[in-house]
Amino acid sequence: MNTLVQELKQLIIDSLDLEDIGPDDIDPQAPLFGAGLGLDSIDALELGVAIQKRFHIKLDNDPAATRQHFQSVTSLARFIESKAK
């Protein structure tokens, strides 16, 4: 789980071309969208694509579920682990 969290943090930074921010600056519990990292709807699409590519998983078509999975780095990690099983 911990390595997955680290990997996700780096994936977010790389795929979204985030500046001035390192993996340690991302709080795994903090919201990715809105206040926390301040990602936007285009970031959500980009991140979704990056995750599908990296982990070879399919995202649900259910917006409510997706929103929940993309809540924070921790929730994303949990979601990816559940898909991998």
Q: What is the DSSP string of 36-67?
A: SS-B-HHHHHHHHHHHHHHH--PPPS-HHHHH
* Bridge partners (DSSP) listed for residue 39: 33
Closer to other proteins by CB, 25 or 81: give it: 25
Closer to other proteins by CB, 33 or 55: give it: 33
Q: What is the DSSP letter of 23?
A: G
- By the criterion CB under 8 A, which residues form the site for other proteins? 17, 19-21, 25, 33-35, 38-43, 46
Query: How near is the Cβ of 77 to other proteins at its closest, in Å?
Result: 23
Closer to other proteins by CB, 18 or 59: give it: 18
